[in-house]
Structures are given as C-alpha cells and as structure tokens.
Amino acid sequence: MEDQQIATLLTSSAQFTPIPGFKITYGTAGFRANASVLSSTVFCAGILAALRSLKTGKMVGLMITASHNPIDDNGVKIADPSGGMMAQTWEPFADALVGFQSPEELVQLVLEFTKKEKISFGGPKSAVILLGRDTRPSGKSLLECAKRGIASIIGAVAINMGILTTPQLHWMVRCRNKDINASEYDYFKQLSKSFMSLVGLNPLKETTSSKPNSTLLIDAANGVGGEKLHEVKKSLMGIELQVRNSGKEGILNDGVGADFVQKEKVAPQGFGPSDVGMRCVSLDGDADRFVYFRVISTDSNKIDLIDGDKILSLFALFIKAQLNILQKMDDKGAGDQFVTRIGVVQTAYANGASTDYLRQLGLEVAFTPTGVKYLHEKAAEYDIGIYFEANGHGTILFSDTFLSMIEARVNEPMFSSTGSEYERAILRLVAVTQLINQAVGDALSGLLLVEAILQYMGWSIETWSKLYRDLPSRQLKIKVADRTAVITANAETQVVKPFGLQKMIDSETAKYTKGRCFIRPSGTEDVIRVYAEASTQEAVDTLAQSVGQIVGDILG
Ligand code: G16
C-alpha cells in the first residue's frame, strides 16, 4: 500500500511544485496570498485535510476563501471535525508541506509526519473532506487544486458543497460529525426556526413606541453573504432584510464590507445620508464577520460604528438577564441552582471602554492574541463563553454541561412551553444555542441574534450604541519590507523584536492622555497593523501616525 501511495504522491505533486522563492505560512486564518501563486499551496492543503481526516477518523472541511482580503487574493483553511479551526499543533507541518521543493521532498515530509502521528494509509476508515468556496473568481480553479491534493491520498473522498459562506461550511462539518442533517436547506431552516422561536418568546410590549424599526439595511460586501441572505429572507417574519452590495453592484470588499466600515469608520458604498435613522449592518466577503452602524450626518458619510465589542456586550447583557431570571426563581425553591461560569474573550483591539463596561457587569474578561482560533479555544473553557474581536468576528459557546442542564429543565414533567417567565427564559436560552453558530463566528446567525435581542429589549440602534462611549481609536496598515521581523508577546501588546522598538512606541504613547498603542504583523495581509487609543480623535490620529512613522523608519 505504501508503495502505491508514494507513487501517487510523486506523480501528483510533480504538477504542483511551488514557485521558487515563494514563502507562505498558515497565518491568522489559514494560507492567504494573491490567487495567482496559490495552486501549489491549495494542492498541499488538500493533502493536509485528507491526513487530518485520517488522523481523527472524522470528516473535516476545506474552505477556499480570503474573507476580507481584496478580490485578487484568495486562501485556504481547514476546519477540524468540531467545526472549529484546524488544531494549531498541525500548523508547523502545514508550513513545511507547502514549502516542498521537489516531489521526493514532499513524499518524505508526508511519510515522516504520518509516522510521527501514527496515521496509516489504506486502513478501514477513509478520509472524507467537505469542500466549499466563496464567490471569488479564482475559487473554482483553486478548488480543483484542492481536489487533486485530496485525490493524492488513496481512498480519500472529497464532497463538494458548492458556493458557501465560511461559517456554513464549518457548521456542516460540525453537524455531520454529530450525525445531524446538515444540508444548506437544513442550515437555513435552523436559522429561521430558532430566530422565530426566540422572537416569539419576547415579552409583549404595551406600546409600540419602544419597538425597534423592523427594517434592517445590509451591506453584503459584494460577497457570498448577499445571495445567502436572499434565501434567509424567504422564511423570516417580523423583520425586513434589505440587502445591498449583494454581488453585482461592485467589487468584493472594495469600499464595502465589515472590514472597510470598521477600519475607515465611514458608510460603505451604496449607503449615505439618505439612510440617516436606519439600522445598518455590514458583513465581510465570506460572511463570517459583521458590524452594525448608523449614518449620522445628512451631508456626509460619517457613521456611528457599533463594532464587535458592542455586539459582545449586547449578547452578554441578554444572556445575563436570562440567567438572572433563572437564579431568582431557583432562590424561591424552583429547583437546583444554575451554576454557570460566564466568560468573555477579547483581543488587544477591544476598545478600553468596552472592557471596563464588561467588567462593571461583573463578567470575567480574558484576552488572547488576534485570531478566532485563539479566542474560540479560550471561550470553550467556560459554561458560556462569548468571544468577539472588535472587527466583528465572534460567537457564543455553550458547554455540554450547560446544554444538559437546560435540556433537563425543559424535560421536567411540569415544564410548560407557554408558561412562566422562568420557563420562557429557559426556552430563550435554548433558542440562542440553536440560532448561534457554535462552530465559528457567523454574520448571518449573529445578526439575527442581534435583531431578536433588540426586539426583546425594545431598543433602537441609538440606545444600543449608548451602552458605553468608545474611546477614540485609529488603525493603520504600514507596508514594510518583511513583516515577520516583528515579534510580539503579551497577547500582542508588546514588541519583543526588533529590540528597542517597544520603548519608542511607549515614549510616544506616554505623551497622550489615556494613550494606548500597539503594533503587530497581520496574519492575513502583507502589512504591520498599528492600533491606537487616546482621549480625543485628534490626539489618537497623531499618535497612530507617529507610531506608523517609527515602524516605517525602522522596518523600511
Ligand atoms: C481573519 C481572522 C480574524 C482576524 C482577521 C484579521 O478574519 O479570522 O480572527 O481578526 O483575519 O487578522 P490579521 O489582523 O492577522 O490580518 P477574516 O474575516 O479575514 O477571516
């Protein structure tokens, strides 16, 4: 068997040797680069996915996307059987594999790794990989490269799920490994069913004056989210989704989308002064992130941004409110205490005001480096873990213990689904566990949860926005000769290398009231990112500019 496997790998890899000198690593969210140089990388990712499936004995996912990056870029990432990101312990092998210089070297890398990981070829279980891609023009041909990589592992099976959002693919992998039906139809059905049941459990408001506007304007970044939202819309009631930038109006992520709106803090194309007073949301290119905004000026594109930190705060408030109802009833002898450890997870990009607010709510706040793979892992340590990056990437995780606890309550003989506020609080939590995508951040399910909660609270977008006041902040991207020259520590808040750079950043930051500033190499774009906060917008703009200048001077 091994001889046959070696021969297959030698033949297939001979057609995919990497471009000499091209270096790529498994970054914040998989491999990403200009699509024209990715064939060999995606071929290797196919092999990697097949090996991962053989190792775990379960289905894995392979998604072709570069999410928020420009249209000419593309990328590939692997979803583990849980639906989460590939185990980080496999990243060094992934990096070595894509750097192979000859078919013989690739075979050697695969043999060494499979020996170390005790993966055997030709065993009773074969590898199964679910494939998905977003709407990028390069996606179709890159998917073929992935299939060729998968076919290089004898017996591995690729199932093409077609054009999907990234979270849809992660969700499908998670569900199928639990023997739950997971077609695209099932995904849409679950979203609409859980949304409608959540909204149906809202307290009846006596007046209509506090009801939020039922129309939501959506910027779909000219990406895959647009066409999927048209499907979601078909089965929803009580909310009107008006989708713009759904693909034909412009270029993917160009002046549109969550990344643009969050970084530039202006309305995306297709939105403007005529939208003043409306609640708006912006997705990114593969619909795994979302931020809300409202246009605030009748003569400019200025917006009030409601970012991932405020989405996190809204989710945390709602969940806490439900748990409070349960605990109050438990205190009156309604059953065992609900002992629930809630944790929220943020990154250094979280606005300082949001962290203060969450702590005032009595929540435990943890920090990790940028990248869903880190936040997700941390959030999974709690009974209820809510994680969000300021850029709108996040979700809520519920532990198995918590899920069994609420399930047990629902199954109590006296439980009535039309009953008390206690019972309705339980059912709301059940609906949230079904609506939110627990595999990964998902703009479609996330925005429906926001909408349901705003209806529950009877809040307008302004009320939500006023939960706390963001400290003025600014983000910049600096092009440098080699971004890997920057090494950071302490959840990316301190530069360790180049030596001396952190001292310069510190002395610049010290000049500003409430100043905070850090830099880090992006894991998805070829840039160094600068983030700054200070007490006024003017001050923070100057701070970011001067640190950007220092970075440019030192790193060239
Ligand atoms: C990806 C990751 C996010 C990360 C973002 C930016 O998002 O999934 O966790 O925040 O990249 O990363 P970096 O600052 O390293 O470039 P997406 O939406 O592009 O997949």
Strands (E), 329-403: 342-346, 364-367, 384-388, 394-398
Closest ligand 1 atom to 27 CA: 15
Tell me the DSSP string of 88-143: GGGHHHHHHHHT--SHHHHHHHHHHHHHHTT--TT-SSPPEEEEEE-S-TTHHHHH
Mutate to test the pocket of ligand 1, among 76, 136, 165, 391 (most ligand atoms within 8 A of CB): 391
How many angstroms does the Cα of residue 19 sit away from the middle of ligand 1? 26
Strand (E) or helix (H) holding 542: helix 537-555
Closest ligand 1 atom to 32 CA: 19
Query: How does pLDDT run across 430-450, given as a tens digit for each residue?
Result: 999 999 999 999 999 999 999
Binding residues: 67, 284, 286, 288, 389-391, 520-524, 529
Q: Is the pLDDT of residue 208 over 50?
A: no
Query: How does pLDDT run across 401-423, given as a tens digit for each residue?
Result: 999 989 988 898 888 877 888 89
Enter the tokens of residue 222: 């000219």
How many angstroms does the Cα of residue 514 sit away from the middle of ligand 1? 27
Ligand 1 near 406 CB (within 6 A) = no
How many angstroms does the Cα of residue 95 sit away from the middle of ligand 1? 18
Contact present, 435 and 194 (Cβ < 8 Å): yes
Q: Is the pLDDT of residue 512 over 50?
A: yes
Name the residue among 129, 82, 62 with its Cα closest to residue 437: 82
Tell me where in the chain the CATH 3.30.310.50 domain(s) lie: 473-555
Q: Which fold has domain 213-305?
A: Alpha-D-Glucose-1,6-Bisphosphate; Chain A, domain 3 (3.40.120)
Mean pLDDT of the chain: 93
Closest ligand 1 atom to 523 CA: 15
Contact present, 50 and 17 (Cβ < 8 Å): no
Query: Which pTM does this prediction carry?
Result: 0.94
Ligand 1 near 523 CB (within 6 A) = yes
Q: Is the pLDDT of residue 8 over 80?
A: yes
Binding residues for substrate: 389-391, 520-524, 529
- What is the band of 210 on the pLDDT scale with cuts at 50, 70, 90? low
Q: Is 417 a catalytic residue?
A: no
Name the residue among 263, 228, 260 with its Cα closest to residue 247: 228
Query: How does pLDDT run across 55-73, given as a tens digit for each residue?
Result: 999 999 999 999 999 999 9
Q: What's the Rg (C-alpha) of the chain?
A: 24
HEC profile for 37-54?
HCHHHHHHHHHHHHHHHH
How many angstroms does the Cα of residue 34 sit away from the middle of ligand 1? 16
Closest ligand 1 atom to 285 CA: 18
Ligand 1 near 522 CB (within 6 A) = yes
Tell me where in the chain the CATH 3.40.120.10 domain(s) lie: 2-181, 213-305
Nearest CA to ligand 1 atom 10: 371
Ligand 1 near 134 CB (within 6 A) = no
Strand order in the sheet with 528-533: 473-478, 528-533, 516-521
Nearest CA to ligand 1 atom 17: 67
Query: How does pLDDT run across 37-53, given as a tens digit for each residue?
Result: 999 999 999 999 999 99
Query: How does pLDDT run across 253-312, given as a tens digit for each residue?
Result: 999 999 999 999 999 999 999 999 999 999 999 999 999 999 998 888 999 999 999 999
- Mean pLDDT across the stretch 212-228? 94
Ligand 1 near 288 CB (within 6 A) = yes
Mutate to test the pocket of ligand 1, among 262, 307, 370 (most ligand atoms within 8 A of CB): 370
Ligand 1 near 520 CB (within 6 A) = no
Q: Which residue has the tokens 């971004």?
A: 483
Mutate to test the pocket of ligand 1, among 393, 477, 486, 488 (most ligand atoms within 8 A of CB): 393
Enter the tokens of residue 198: 């959540």
- Mean pLDDT across the stretch 138-155? 97
Contact present, 228 and 165 (Cβ < 8 Å): yes
How many angstroms does the Cα of residue 522 sit away from the middle of ligand 1? 8
Nearest CA to ligand 1 atom 4: 371
pLDDT of residue 66: 97
How many angstroms does the Cα of residue 371 sit away from the middle of ligand 1? 6
* Catalytic hit among 53, 67, 82, 194: 67
Strands 128-133 and 60-64: parallel
Q: CATH code for 473-555? A: 3.30.310.50
Q: Is the pLDDT of residue 329 over 90?
A: no
Q: Is the pLDDT of residue 341 over 50?
A: yes
Ligand 1 near 244 CB (within 6 A) = no
Give 543's contacts (C-beta < 8 A, 6+ positions apart).
Answer: 474, 508, 509, 511, 512, 515, 517, 532, 534
pLDDT of residue 94: 98
Nearest CA to ligand 1 atom 3: 371
Q: Which fold has domain 2-181?
A: Alpha-D-Glucose-1,6-Bisphosphate; Chain A, domain 3 (3.40.120)
Percentage of the chain beyond pLDDT 70 is: 96
List alpha helices for 257-363, DSSP H: 258-264, 308-329, 352-360
Name the residue among 208, 198, 212 with its Cα closest to residue 458: 212
Ligand 1 near 483 CB (within 6 A) = no
Nearest CA to ligand 1 atom 6: 524
Closest ligand 1 atom to 286 CA: 18
Enter the tokens of residue 45: 């990712």
| HSE value, Cβ hemisphere, 13 Å, CA-based, for 111 | 15
How many angstroms does the Cα of residue 525 sit away from the middle of ligand 1? 9
Q: Which residue has the tokens 């680069």?
A: 33
pLDDT of residue 333: 56
Whole-angstrom CA distances from 1 to 4, 56, 349 are: 5, 20, 50
Give 115's contacts (C-beta < 8 A, 6+ positions apart).
Answer: none
Between CA 165 and CA 187 the distance in angstroms is: 11
Percentage of the chain beyond pLDDT 90 is: 83
How many angstroms does the Cα of residue 529 sit away from the middle of ligand 1? 12
